[in-house]
Amino acid sequence: MRLTASRIFQIGLLLLFFFLVYTHLIPRNDEQSLVSGAPKPADPKDQAESQSQTHDHPHPQRPAHPHPQRPTVTQSSAYPKGTANLEEATDTQGAADPQEMTDTENKNDSENTTILQNSKDSQNLTDPGSRSQFIKDAFIYGWRGYKQHAYPHDMLKPLSNTTLDGRSGWGATIVDALTAAILLEVPETIDAALQHIPTISWQIASYEGVAIFGSTIRYLGAMLSAYDMLTTTHSHLVNADSKNKLPELLSQAQALADLLSPSFGTPLGINSNFLNLTDHNITSKNGINDITAISGLPLEWTHLSDLTGNHTYAEISQKSLNAILNVTGDHPSPFPGLFPKHLSLETGNFETGNFDTSDVGGWSHAGGGLYEMLMKNYVYDPVHFKSYREKWITAADSTIKYLASHAQGRPDLTFLAEFNGTELIYRQDHSGMFAAANFILGGAATGEKRFLDFGLQLVNTYIKIYGATETGIGPESFGWIPTTCDTGEETRKEICQVPEEYVSQEKSGFVRSSGYWITNSNYLLRPEVLESLYYAYRVTKDEKYREESWKIVERVIRWCRAGSAFAELEDVNKKMEVGSEEGRRDWMNSYMLSEVLMYSYIIHQEDAPWQLKSNGKNEWVFTTQAHPLRVKAKIEGSAQRSWTNSTSV
């Protein structure tokens, strides 16, 4: 066909029309990100970092994530009625409309941004109800940020909206936050977790080496706690779609424990801290394990035995802990009831002669968990764990007598020193500030007032530590000059002066006014001070502690809210712009939701069976990761531990 001039003109107009439609109505890739509200493609550096190890995990990461990437929908209202998740919705309704998904994400982004829009007025909230609602809103804000940008990975990097899988890749945040969601009554989180947990394949992890202690406190403890609450005190929160998932909480807990059990296969039955899932070989640095990773298992593992009737879990975990308490070899600690941090898996003896300033005894990281769990196991079952009560009392008395230290110029402050042999090291870290809660719990459980009084001394010190910084939030670690320098009891000259690297804090007047110098200025979203304030309020009912808890959590929410959720702070002694990413660290650990916001919420709630009791007669006990478990006496049914009638520890 011969083209005439008019035909060529018509074709040209048609091509011009399609060109205009394409260039004006269809945005380019970078414009699409802005229009839809979706994040721009991640920087390759961020992508590489999201696949890297966490800063404390020694094992190489497996290249493939165990879970398929799931579509992102953050509200149950986005699903068609009667469906449990988006996959089911697309199966029953046909392919999901991309525009509808974009609209949903835009809606959720908007709600997530505005849910705390009145945060500037939060300091003026005065009644428990409005404060509780504000904290609950903060939980939902953090949860939706994780759900949209990180689910089903372990953790969210809220500034870059990328992910981290340092907790085996099983979804640490969604599992760890489940019990907090139950106590705060957040249905969207509860439903999502109940749908997620049955899908976890424990045999497939993001790292070849699985952490036994970390998996116990975050995954096993959360599932057992959720099972306890959702089948008793909080059964009203389970909808029809999720009710059939409750038995899977217990079966999945048992499956995880079965997977981790080979870690006890050492000569003396002392658990290693890592288990290689490929060959089931136990791995442990230098053939040792720390006493927190050993003592931190029996509470959850014994509870699993009590729920299932399988005594093996309790027996192997208690045998491991008792190896610490019954050590017959060299005992390098001069303080009765207190132990160095590391135990040999081969000999069962404490490592001696190779201590340095990072491997000492005390209540800080990797050491204090032993004393915490002695008391919590006793609260769980005072009959079976009767001897743990006496072991704890010995350790607590030694702590008061030998480790308690007051700061030069600030005798009102009570710190807990660490020890290296007979020498005290005057430093403390935030992770050890649960000590106040443990002394208060122990005081109530034993009826010994001296422990309660000492715990309150510590709590009041924590309040002042926080109040001394520019943000009103305490640092990761600090040091001090003890009053023994004034009395002549301390003969080491270097102890009686501020270290050279911190002299600037002395010159600025910070050390004189605060009583301490900051050695690590980060705030890593740690919960220990809020935990201790909860215990202080529940036992004394002194409103002072509830008020201080509110002040602290309000500051945490105000300063740490950044990006899509909450971020760590680089320097607590430096004020920064609210809501800005500057001065923040791109990391949100699961305990921001599971502990920080949980403890600060339940302190405002009325008496309930699961609340801590001031008379020491507790019906529930909180694990180290803040998951409440029913005490042994409150477990009904044939699975109760008849197998322990003949033995106790």
- Residues with a catalytic annotation lie at 476
The Cα–Cα gap between 90 and 219 comes to: 30
Segment (H or E) for 157? strand 155-157
For 210, phi then psi, to 5°, come to -95, 135
Return the residue matching tokens 């320098």.
485
How crowded is residue 459: how many other Cβ atoms within 10 Å of its Cβ? Answer: 26
Segment (H or E) for 406? strand 404-407
Taken in order 47, 275, 595, 197, is the CA torsion positive or negative?
Answer: positive
Burial class (CB in 10 A: 0-12, 13-18, 19+), 40: exposed
Query: What's the distance, CA 608 to chain centroid?
Result: 23
The Cα–Cα gap between 628 and 626 comes to: 6
For residue 482, whether the previous peptide bond is cis, meaning omega lies within 30 degrees of 0, is no
The Cα–Cα gap between 610 and 618 comes to: 8
483 in a known ligand binding site: no
Distance (Å) of CA 407 to CA 162, 415, 426, 479, 543: 42, 8, 9, 9, 27
Neighbour-count burial for 63-80, b at 16+ CB within 10 Å, e otherwise = eebbbeeeebbbeeebbe
- Lookup: tokens for 571: 């320097």
Dihedral (Cα; 609, 363, 261, 182), 10-degree rounding: 30
Distance between terminal CA atoms of the chain? Answer: 99
The Cα–Cα gap between 568 and 188 comes to: 25
Q: If we measure between CA atoms, which residue out of 423, 545, 544, 525 comes closest to residue 484?
A: 423
DSSP letter, residue 361: B
What secondary structure, in 3-state letters, does 430-466 show? HHHHHHHHHHHHHHHHHCCHHHHHHHHHHHHHHHHHH
Return the residue matching tokens 């060959």.
279
The Cα–Cα gap between 186 and 199 comes to: 21
What secondary structure, in 3-state letters, does 514-564 show? HCCEEEECCECCCCHHHHHHHHHHHHHCCHHHHHHHHHHHHHHHHHHEECC
Q: If we measure between CA atoms, which residue out of 221, 178, 169, 202 comes closest to residue 53?
A: 169
The Cα–Cα gap between 391 and 397 comes to: 10
Burial class (CB in 10 A: 0-12, 13-18, 19+), 248: middle
Residues flagged as binding site for Ca(2+): 624
Residues flagged as binding site: 624
